[in-house]
Amino acid sequence: MSFQSVLKDNLFEQKHFIVTGGGSGIGRCIAHEINALGGSVTLIGRKTEKLEKVANEITNQDGKVDYFSCDIRDENKVKETVSLIVEKHGHIEGLVNNAGGQYPSPAASVTQKGFEAVVSTNMTGGFLFSREVFNQSMSKKGGSIVNITADMWGGMPGMVHSGAARAGMDNLTKTLAFEWGHKGVRVNAIAPGWIASSGMDTYDGSFKAIIPKLKEAVPMKRLGTESEVSGIICFLLSPAAAFISGTSIRVDGAASMGNRMWPLANAENCEPFNAFHLSETPDILK
């Protein structure tokens, strides 16, 4: 069995992509879908063993995959890594800035070190990769960049550091789209809602207890799948999105809409789309 993408077969044939945070969760799913569409992909992450596992999955599907261990917050390491990828694979058609992470905490308890670490991971790292991919490849032949943000438009209580970083990434998306558009580079962002992925298993304490109840705040009364995020990302990477740039698309089942005055009814006809043949239910949701 293989990835059942709704997009055209061989859409990404002879094209190379970079996916940061490609060793797990949504990044892993994106890498598999790019592969299923005929593209080759380089996975970026800090833990080599996780990257190697996903690379082996893709290789077993006769896919073309490479990986590099890289701290996206290290400017010199990012420059070096992008240079190696360009030297080895040629032009970079697309970049997905998926790597990120945060921890729940009330704002009054967040230290400067913790705040800066989350901002660096969720915003600075994405900027560094975007800049280097543009300077070393896309400025010559164009391309598409997709950033991963979050629903931060109404604030992110309990995650002030992540909210600030994601809001910055949203604005960065708009700025880069405008500055780089003349070079044929499109820059967009995706704001996933509550997606059932392995990242949910990284939380503990009181936040862990909330996760199984999140679906009750979604009009569709379910969580999203990794495939439902990956599909729109691959569309934005494709030629069909050639005139879409500088926008952020929410993938959240309308959870960010409405207000507490409107009660949510029981849901029906809201079956999830799951194309990922290796999708795994997070332990917290079992």
Instruction: Give the residue among 44, 60, 33, 64 at the shortest CA–CA distance from 238.
Output: 33
Q: Which has more confidence, 260 or 46?
A: 46
Lowest average pLDDT, out of 39-43, 148-152, 197-201, goes to: 197-201
pLDDT at 264 over 90: no
**What value does the mean pLDDT take over residues 237-254?**
96
pLDDT at 134 over 80: yes
Mean pLDDT, rounded, of the chain = 93
Q: What is the token pair recorded at 34?
A: 């790019």
Cα dist from 146 to 115, 116, 118, 188, whole Å: 24, 23, 19, 5
Is the torsion defined by CA of 45, 48, 53, 59 positive or negative?
Answer: positive
Q: Which region holds residue 8: left if phi is over 0, alpha if psi is between -120 and 50, else beta? A: beta
Q: Which has more confidence, 284 or 130?
A: 130
Band of residue 124 on the pLDDT scale cut at 50, 70, 90: very high
CATH superfamily, domain at 16-285:
NAD(P)-binding Rossmann-like Domain (3.40.50.720)
DSSP state, residue 105: B
Phi, psi torsion values for 92, nearest 5 degrees: -95, 115
Band of residue 23 on the pLDDT scale cut at 50, 70, 90: very high
**Rounded to the nearest 10 degrees, what angle do helices 48-59 and 25-36 cross at?**
30
pLDDT at 168 over 90: yes
pLDDT number for residue 174: 98
How far is it, in rounded angstroms, from Cα 160 to Cα 119?
A: 10
**What value does the mean pLDDT take over residues 244-248?**
98
* Amino acid, single-letter form, for residue 20: T
pLDDT number for residue 49: 96
